Amino acid sequence: MRKRLYLVSILALVALIAVLGVRWADRRGDFDLLQARIDNSGPVDSCLVATILEPWFGRSLLSLDRDSITRQLNSIEGLNSVSVSVVLPHTLIVSMEPGEATAVVSMGGSTMPVTAQGRILPMEWASPSLPELT
């Protein structure tokens, strides 16, 4: 019984030291966002992505709100999905799945590229080789 109490006390002390060490490193800025990697952005406007990520640079990755970043990036026109992951100590990885234009729809004198599901894409994503639907 005494050995078990001694072992539990040692483990609790080690856990406390580990937690305090991580908190200390976090306050020193050892887990601050310093770089972002964007995977599979395709035709997405990289300036828009940079504008969304810019306020998060220099902030701790341990307190990063990935859901908020994902929602902001999902608002970019033409994206099917976005996922955001953290790689400690300093990197944020954004994986994007842009929509693929399958046709150009012409209505009332204007044209717009669309995906197979009917989602409207930015005009820059249109290609002359796409079929035109009226």
**Angle at CA of residue 54, ends 53 and 58, nearest 5°:** 105
Q: Which pLDDT tens digit goes with each residue over 9-20?
A: 999 999 999 999
Q: Which pLDDT tens digit goes with each residue over 1-44?
A: 788 999 999 999 999 999 998 889 888 888 899 999 998 877 88
Average pLDDT over every residue of 42-55: 88
Q: Which long-range contacts (CB under 8 A, 24 or more apart) does 34-40 make?
A: 34/58, 34/90, 34/91, 35/90, 35/91, 35/92, 36/91, 36/92, 36/93, 36/94, 37/91, 37/92, 37/93, 37/94, 38/94, 38/96, 39/93, 39/94, 39/95, 39/96, 40/95, 40/96, 40/97, 40/98
Which pLDDT belongs to residue 108? 81
Q: Which pLDDT tens digit goes with each residue over 52-104?
A: 999 999 999 988 899 999 999 988 888 888 999 999 899 999 999 888 888 88
Q: Which pLDDT tens digit goes with each residue over 99-111?
A: 888 888 888 888 8
Which pLDDT belongs to residue 22? 84
Classify strands 35-39 and 91-98 as parallel, antiparallel or unpaired.
parallel
